[in-house]
Amino acid sequence: MPYDANLVLHGINSAGTHTDLDNACVEAVALGVNATGNKCLDVRKTAAKGLIATLVLTEEADAASYDDEATVVIQDSDHLDRGWAAVTTFPLLRSHIRRVWVTCTIGFAAADLGAAAVSGGASTGMIVGWDDALSTAGGTGYLYIEMDGTDDTYQDAIGTGLDGTTTGEADVVIVPPLADELICQMQPGTYHRRFMTNKRYVRAYITGVTHTLGICWILLTNEAGSEHGPEYPAP
């Protein structure tokens, strides 16, 4: 069952234009596509119970929405107007993530997840993950930080320390090949989620977006594919 116009959960709205993953998204309640690019699919016609939902973000996120997030859930139901329930959820989508190469001075622990990352008073953000090596003092690896704005480069943290304000602390180390950059993971990206359903209808349910994460497609297939998109590690 390859992708075609009948297997799109989100992508082109009723006016025939591409749609963003944004705060205007309204869940579909009919087989026809709605004004925000969402529609329900009748999967009974496919005779496929094992399916793969693929989410594709095709451009960079809105530059003004550095800490924007989105939750995308695939739901199923036997009725278009009621009974919708989650069958699989994509990873939390974040618009801008910095990968900062650091040497750990105090090991990062579970309490640091979601804590503020403060660097030299100029760069702020939220810690969303780290390499296992940073769980122990002296370890070197990547710290993943959700940015708050354009000034969150963490360049000023070199030698001054980057403090999670809870437990973990680290010094930023710039080493080849990162001498002139701190990698920023932004959309676009591709994510896959396998699921099974014995219900008749399937739709995408999008919540939590404050601004926009750019043009988005959510497609349905039963073709084999990778299970994960370009996700950062979580402790």
| Apex 190 CA angle, 83 and 198, nearest 5 | 30
Helix (H, G, I), strand (E, B) or coil at 111: helix
Residue 39 sits in the same domain as residue 49: yes
Is the pLDDT reported for residue 218 higher than 90? yes
Q: Flag whether 21 is in a domain.
A: yes
Tell me which of 185, 210, 230 is where a domain ends: 185
Q: Which domain holds residue 24?
A: 5-91+187-221
Residue 52 sits in the same domain as residue 129: no
Say what the pLDDT of residue 230 is: 45
Residue 117 sits in the same domain as residue 160: yes
How many angstroms separate the CA atoms of 59 and 119, rounded? 29
201-223 average pLDDT score: 89
Quote the mean pLDDT of the chain. 81
Residue 169 sits in the same domain as residue 207: no
Say what the pLDDT of residue 227 is: 45
Question: What digits encode the pLDDT tens for the residues 160-189?
Answer: 567 666 777 777 766 545 555 677 777 678
Residue 194 sits in the same domain as residue 140: no
CA 101, 106, 111, 117 torsion-angle sign:
negative
Q: Flag whether 234 is in a domain.
A: no
Instruction: Report residue 10 as tokens.
Output: 């989100």
Residue 60 sits in the same domain as residue 116: no
Residue 151 sits in the same domain as residue 112: yes
Q: How many domains does the chain have?
A: 2
Beta carbons of 116 and 206 less than 8 angstroms apart: no
Q: Flag whether 228 is in a domain.
A: no
Q: Flag whether 227 is in a domain.
A: no
Question: What digits encode the pLDDT tens for the residues 79-108?
Answer: 999 999 999 999 998 888 888 888 888 888
Tell me which of 140, 163, 185 is where a domain ends: 185
Say what the pLDDT of residue 235 is: 40
- Matching residue, tokens 């040497």: 103
Residue 44 sits in the same domain as residue 85: yes
Say what the pLDDT of residue 58 is: 80
Q: The domain that contains 77 carries what CATH number?
A: 2.60.120
pTM of the model: 0.78
Task: Name the amino acid, one letter, at 107.
Answer: G
Question: What digits encode the pLDDT tens for the residues 28-40?
Answer: 999 989 999 999 9
Tell me which of 170, 185, 200 is where a domain ends: 185
Q: Flag whether 65 is in a domain.
A: yes
Q: Flag whether 77 is in a domain.
A: yes
Q: Flag whether 81 is in a domain.
A: yes
Question: What digits encode the pLDDT tens for the residues 46-87?
Answer: 666 789 999 998 876 666 778 888 999 999 999 999 999 999
Task: Name the amino acid, one letter, at 210.
Answer: T
Q: How confident is the model at residue 141 (pLDDT cuts 50, 70, 90)?
A: confident
Q: Flag whether 148 is in a domain.
A: yes
How many angstroms separate the CA atoms of 104 and 149, rounded? 24
